Amino acid sequence: DSGVTQTPKHLITATGQRVTLRCSPRSGDLSVYWYQQSLDQGLQFLIQYYNGEERAKGNILERFSAQQFPDLHSELNLSSLELGDSALYFCASSIRPMTGVGNTIYFGEGSWLTVV
**Contacting residues toward other proteins, per CB under 8 A:** 2, 41-45, 48, 55-56, 58, 90, 97-101, 104-110
State phi, psi for 83 to the nearest 5 degrees. -55, -35
Q: How far is the CB of 114 from other proteins (least distance, A)?
A: 14
Q: How far is the CB of 80 from other proteins (least distance, A)?
A: 25
Q: How far is CA 75 from the centre of its chain?
A: 7
d(CA 9, CA 11): 7
Q: Which is nearer to other proteins, 78 or 89 (CB)?
A: 89
- Contact between 90 and 43 (Cβ < 8 Å): yes
Q: How far is the CB of 72 from other proteins (least distance, A)?
A: 17
- Contact between 23 and 6 (Cβ < 8 Å): yes
Q: How far is CA 50 from the centre of its chain?
A: 13
Q: How far is the CB of 116 from other proteins (least distance, A)?
A: 20
Q: Which is nearer to other proteins, 81 or 94 (CB)?
A: 94
Q: Which is nearer to other proteins, 78 or 108 (CB)?
A: 108
